[in-house]
Structure 1
């Protein structure tokens, strides 16, 4: 290994400047921008989290909402600089093998306990525990140990020098005293009603309906302006768009370009564009003789014009992609351009490979019976990709190539990729803020290229990835990442299509919402709404009216009514409700975590007969009792795409105890809905009764995927 002095003076100057910025940033206590206090913001979402525990998040980027509940050691500001948060300062050792964080001493958990270095070490130990299966454990692979120096100082020691030491150690911190009381990480009250230290804390969580956050009065920067944030969960985009337009929702990020276009004329709404972090691409079957040649893969790439997709499908809200590193990244190669679109050049290139003549349908062929055609495979439930595939099909025809678009359910999609039963597949991948293409493009599966669906293998690419991650100088790292992008572009194992912009629709009365690379919700705790702009009808919406019948999906606590929300606060002038405990997290092969009976509407008691001394009481109906619940398999595609959440399946149980039908009440897509429904159909029950006799009754089963 090279001696430390060989890294050069330039690196020391960069690091010294960075440390000076940190120290300057800690010289005085940061305060919130001035804004009128009070009011409530309602956010509409199509995705309900399965848990509020950050360690149970998927591989995709951390939830912005969870980042408002828990502090990290440091964070990114709007200019994407690392700035202090829970840590007020940090210092590297002379050899950069250690970094010591000094914590703020004025930060407390929502139960009044101080946040200490013990919490940092405890969280790190959980993150690196194989039993926890933390999705970002790989980011900590070069951290050897974490040592508590004193109550407010903690030291990270590295087993190698690399450029992202500071990035990787800025972990989110959880309360040791609260979590160590639980039997497991995924069970207990913390899952749904956590002890927090961020600008907001959880007031109540009504699963399937809403999550209510209230401003933390003890937050170290002072209480944020918005008194309450309500996240409402919707089952479909149309309902969400309607709620946004009629004023029930103030903000959402979950609308398609088509829905946004319909709302852009609304004078009460403002669109906020910000850089997206995902890219869509075509992945060629590298094991197929047809696509073994990089020359042919390039030819196919030249038959595609991403600009038409961007204009027609994304409505101009995006940009062409040229490689696996996004244009918004510091490591992006500005000189790298997408393959040029030229159908004639494509025909010429294909002619050199033997595809010379056109058949009567206008497709290239080697002989009248062998037309050039390829099967384009994608997973269902992705309207943007499906619309893009239709355009690609049309463009390929202009080059003489016949494309058969095949849309499969998630399970079939991933099985066909695993077995090589495809020509080209279309997929979308979301990058994290850290530059690390290991998971998708490294050939070593063990803890590295676990999402390398194409099974792409290139020793030079592997070496460049390892070098890029292990380089201390960002300038040198940039050169390495540029070379990495160029090699991938030359080999063309995938043809990159587009990077869609992300668009948030926000009520015009909201102040402080801004656009930057982090996304608008990163600054959520700095938003405010002037009293004159507040929509009073929302206040009553925080506590929904009691339904006429009990909610169909209840909690597993039989003594707790179904309408009782998960809450940190007891209801006023009433006995303290029994806390609703979330069900334990299932293993991937057994995703159901709770069984929920649908509470029936009691039949009306018949009026007493005048001649009878007493009315005859009707025997109350009973619910089906499960004897065996079908186990749902977590679809590989959903797991790889980071799709998590609960799927609620309503089954009709016949008088014989067998499931007659099943329907998804609330789903999360990615093949999870189908997996849950098929599993539910395999369940068996002791039948429910009406008037003491076996009868057809309904039952709701929630399946948890994470």
Structure 2
């Protein structure tokens, strides 16, 4: 799998690197090049590249145990008040925009306002002085990830965006989140913010104004070129004078770039063993790996019968041999999931301890699968499983084109299902954006889905009991949309039973954002047990973050198992890595 998001910029006919100096060539797996979108990090086709020309106050290390463990970015240091409600950040001395003007607290406040216009939870921002700013959570909010949330927002220049954002956004944000305000007042304020957000998302400066180590200079559909920003506060650490980010449409294209010695580094890319061998045969190319907080899962749309029946989902789980699926789909950078919990194996061990062994691993078992299907009312005739109405029991699995591991893993699953008497075939979407849209629209009964995304259990369980399953958390408030509405394509019941207790899993998952640490393990235990019992998804494998580095032109890359490996090479450079050979 290659994770594909979107990016944007002003089109330019010529984007080949020019001039002397060290040119670092790589791929940004989170941004797909789009020459037509504005320079605005909140645009759906974001036109800025994290760590290069898009900057944050800090960069998350994605720690399993501490989601607020961060590397400094535009903030040199920060501190949280004793009650956890106020965060004070101090900007880097000498931080400047690429036009030479200082980065100030006013830029930070404008950035927060822009984020609020795009749906971010409201906070109060107080400018202490030009280089110091304090964020205060909304009344009644006590988010455990408040530090990370505020320090990882994109920072934009007030010189451009400030004049487009009215001061009324702050009063509207306060009213919209004030539970004591009248419903009409809240609705009016929310509508005003949404209307403003639609206007702001489409604007951006014509020329990139960056506070990062690089500025975007030109782009075409094949690549984006960034030049070193001489005004970056730590420019002495940055060896490359240019960065070229090449466009790609799938894993195969990245493999070609690597085998052609065209990349100095490549992000995680699903790579079969034979392809891995051919890539590592290229002189100077090596692999480096570390922890990846993500699992590949098979998810079900419970609005589509018979996948609303838990016995059907359990029967499928007993039919799938996850070890075989992993060997075929992700042999070089995946480990078969021990069980379905909503967490990667390392997190399950950390938060569940010995209780993890009590959960059902759903090891392949034809007899147990048959018993579950029979409980669901299915009947096996002439070796084929049939629905109660006499139609064949069909499990078609959707994947996006270009995701080679999902395609191979999906084919393995369909083969196993067919062997068990279940009608099944693999179907593919043209591209990842189309896949995500159709997924949200509920067009698929079963599809691959990334789960267990960290850092921390709150983020992980939002993948299963968040927006995709109908729950929307705003501060301490959690609302639920019925299956098939507002992007709820998983469609689990709003209340469910876990160990004999009725719970609202979306509320439980949202509570992980603010309950004390000593209460989190109990909630994680409930959610893991519920996920294991009800199987809204079946976890297939945990990823291993295997990346490629090329030492022909640059050296001093992050070492094996470095926390920095989960960040972009642009951030690596800020941390002192990547030196010209």
TM-score (norm 1): 0.60
CA contact (8 A) 1:52 1:66 kept: no
Tell me by how many angstroms 1:277 deviates: 4.3
Corresponding residue to 1:452 among 467, 476, 488: 488
Are residue 324 (structure 1) and residue 347 (structure 2) matched? no
1:228–1:475 distance in 2 versus 1, CA, 3 Å:
farther
1:112 counterpart = 2:100: yes
Superposed CA offset, 1:28-50 (max 9, x none): xxxxxxxxx96221114673255
Aligned to 2:507: 463
Q: Supply the distance in 1 between the matched residues of 2:124 and 2:321 (Cα, whole angstroms).
A: 50
Secondary structure of 2:396's match? strand
Which residue matches 1:441? Answer: 465
Alignment-derived partner of residue 55 in structure 1: 42
Query: Which residue does the alignment assign to 1:84?
Result: 72
**What displacement does 1:123 show?**
0.7
2:309 pairs, out of 278, 289, 293, with 293
In the TM superposition, 1:551-570 aligns within 5 A as none
Provide the C-alpha distance between the structure 2 equivalents of 1:274 and 1:166, rounded to a whole number of angstroms: 25
Separation of aligned partners in 2, 1:374 and 1:228: 52
Give the structure 2 partner of residue 265 of structure 1.
281
Matches within 5 A, 1:70-469: 70-77=54-61, 81-129=69-117, 133=118, 137-138=119-120, 141=121, 143-158=122-137, 159=139, 160-170=141-151, 171-180=153-162, 185=200, 190=205, 193-202=207-216, 204-223=217-236, 224-234=238-248, 238=252, 240-253=254-267, 255-258=269-272, 259-288=275-304, 290-321=306-337, 322-327=340-345, 329=347, 333=352, 335=356, 338-353=361-376, 355=378, 357-359=380-382, 362-364=383-385, 370=390, 373-381=393-401, 382-407=403-428, 423-428=445-450, 431=453, 433=455, 435-436=458-459, 437-438=461-462, 440-442=464-466, 443-444=470-471, 451-459=487-495, 460=503, 461-469=505-513
Q: Distance in 2 between matches of 1:412 and 1:235?
A: 13
**Shift, 1:519, TM fit:** 4.0
| d(CA) in 1 for partners of 2:215, 2:387 | 67
Per-residue deviation, 1:337: 6.3
User: Structure 1: how far apart are the matches of 2:309 and 2:28?
Assistant: 44
Deviations 1:423-458 (A, max 9, x none): 433334583646333465243458667553112233
TM superposition shift of 1:197: 1.7
Contact 2:39 2:204 in 1 (8 A): no
Task: Report the Cα offset of residue 466 of structure 1.
Answer: 2.8
Q: Whose helix fraction is larger, Structure 1's or Structure 2's? A: 2
Cα deviations across residues 312-369 of structure 1 (Å, max 9, x unaligned)?
Answer: 121231123423333455875462564222223212333455556550xx324589x9
Residues 292-691 of structure 1: pairs in structure 2 closer than 5 A: 292-321=308-337, 322-327=340-345, 329=347, 333=352, 335=356, 338-353=361-376, 355=378, 357-359=380-382, 362-364=383-385, 370=390, 373-381=393-401, 382-407=403-428, 423-428=445-450, 431=453, 433=455, 435-436=458-459, 437-438=461-462, 440-442=464-466, 443-444=470-471, 451-459=487-495, 460=503, 461-471=505-515, 473-509=516-552, 510-514=554-558, 515=560, 516-517=562-563, 518-519=566-567, 521=569, 522-525=571-574, 526-531=576-581
Q: Which residue of 1 aligns with 2:49?
A: 65
Measured against aligned partners, the alpha-carbon deviations of 1:479-538 in whole angstroms (never above 9, x if no partner) come to: 32232122122111222222333432221333222254524624144333454xxxxxxx
Supply the RMSD in Å over aligned alpha carbons.
3.7
Length, aligned pairs only: 477
After superposition, the Cα gap between the structure-2 partners of 1:332 and 1:198, relative to the gap in structure 1 and judged at 3 Å, is farther
Secondary structure in structure 1 of the residue aligned to 2:136: strand
Residue 195 of structure 2: aligned partner: none
Q: Any conservation in 1 of the 2:78–2:90 contact (CA below 8 Å)?
A: yes
Deviation of 1:189 after TM superposition, in Å, equals 6.4
Distance 1:414 1:246 in 2: 31
> How far has the Cα of 1:175 moved from its partner?
1.4
Verify the 8 A CA contact 1:69 1:196 in the aligned structure 2.
yes
Q: Distance in 1 between matches of 2:269 and 2:83?
A: 49
Deviations 1:638-675 (A, max 9, x none): xxxxxxxxxxxxxxxxxxxxxxxxxxxxxxxxxxxxxx
Aligned 8 A contact 2:74 2:91 in 1:
yes
The answer to whether the 8 A contact 2:214-2:226 is kept is yes
- Is the Cα contact below 8 Å between 1:343 and 1:398 reproduced in 2? no
Question: Which segments of 5 or more consecutive residues in structure 1 lack a partner in the other structure?
Answer: 1-36, 532-706
Larger Rg computed on CA atoms: 1
Distance in 2 separating the partners of 1:195 and 1:488: 45
Q: Is this contact kept in 1: 2:40–2:204, CA < 8 A?
A: no
The 1-side partners of 2:343 and 2:536 are apart by 15
Match of 2:23 in 1: 40
DSSP-derived class of the 1:456 partner: coil
182-191 vs 277-286, which deviates more?
182-191
Runs of 5+ consecutive residues of structure 2 not aligned to the other structure: 1-19, 166-198, 481-485, 496-502
Residues 574-623 of structure 1: per-residue CA shift (max 9 Å, x gap): xxxxxxxxxxxxxxxxxxxxxxxxxxxxxxxxxxxxxxxxxxxxxxxxxx
The 3-state SS of whatever aligns with 1:458 is coil
Q: Distance in 1 between matches of 2:89 and 2:580?
A: 39
Q: 2:399, 2:426 within 8 Å by CA — same for their partners in 1?
A: no
CA contact (8 A) 1:281 1:497 kept: yes
Tell me how far apart the structure 1 counterparts of residues 320 and 418 of structure 2 sit (CA, whole Å): 10
In the TM superposition, residue 311 of structure 1 has moved relative to its aligned partner by 0.9
**Structure 1 residues 401 and 178: alpha-carbon distance in aligned structure 2, compared to 1, 3 A threshold:** same
Aligned-partner Cα distance in 2 for 1:480–1:48: 40
Cα distance in structure 2, aligned partners of 1:255 and 1:285: 28
Instruction: For residue 405 of structure 2, give the secondary structure of its aligned residue in structure 1.
Output: helix
Kept after mapping to 2: 8 A contact 1:69/1:201: yes
Contact residue 74 and residue 83 of structure 1 kept, 8 A = yes
Larger relative contact order (CA 8 Å, sep ≥ 6): 2
- 2:412 & 2:230 partners in 1: Cα distance? 53
Alignment partners' CA distance in 2, 1:290 and 1:273: 40
CA distance in 2, matches of 1:243, 1:455: 41
